[in-house]
Chain A
Amino acid sequence: GQQVMQIPQYQHVQEGEDFTTYCNSSTTLSNIQWYKQRPGGHPVFLIQLVKSGEVKKQKRLTFQFGEAKKNSSLHITATQTTDVGTYFCAGNAGGTSYGKLTFGQGTILTVHP
């Protein structure tokens, strides 16, 4: 079945440093979504990418979707303590997997002040 791998599993940064998490799918995706989960909380939607090579920005966050629609990345510039949490990518392969959203394992981000 479809697999979505996410690296790194953990990332510790000093406040002000940049952070990147990478997501790779075993199959071509129809779209990819990114979620953030604060400690003790529930996942909250950040963004969806649909087009090959798409790049979207939300303030300090930059999201990219690969040309082959099999990989994606989330980059945070100048991290802040409010960025702490787990970041998940989630992909949908479409076709017979139309109703299934497969999540990566997540990257746990710790920001030291």
Chain B
Amino acid sequence: NAGVTQTPKFQVLKTGQSMTLQCAQDMNHEYMSWYRQDPGMGLRLIHYSVGAGITDQGEVPNGYNVSRSTTEDFPLRLLSAAPSQTSVYFCASSRTTANTEAFFGQGTRLTVV
């Protein structure tokens, strides 16, 4: 079972570039979310989705866009990368809501120079 798959694992961007972090799950989970992890700050919620076609903002949504056209995929788009977006990004999925066990992907380490 693949679980939650994130690509790429590593990425270096120049300031101002855009890119999409991919996230796919094969567990038919309704709930998906994106977090960023910075030293000493835990995991901060960027955006989340409770089902296909439905997305909402988390704690730190500025500079990021998401869409959920299918149950399986939840891509995260950086519109114009900034050094402050250097971080490790995790995608997670849960069977129904944030009240159930979250399964995390392996993470994407992004550096913006």
| Residues of chain A whose beta carbon lies under 8 Å from any beta carbon of chain B | 1, 6, 9, 30-31, 33, 35, 41-45, 48, 88, 90, 92, 94, 98-106
Contacts and interface: CB of A to CB of B under 8 A. Distances in A.
B99 interface: yes
A88 B100 CA distance: 16
Nearest to A101: B98
Contacts of A33: 101-102
A30 B45 CA distance: 18
B42 A100 contact: no
Contacts of B105: 42
A48 B107 contact: no
26 contacts: A1-B59, A6-B42, A31-B99, A33-B101, A35-B102, A41-B106, A42-B107, A43-B104, A45-B102, A48-B99, A48-B100, A92-B97, A94-B99, A98-B98, A99-B31, A99-B56, A100-B59, A101-B45, A101-B98, A102-B45, A103-B42, A103-B44, A103-B45, A105-B40, A105-B41, A105-B42
Contacts of B101: 33, 45, 48
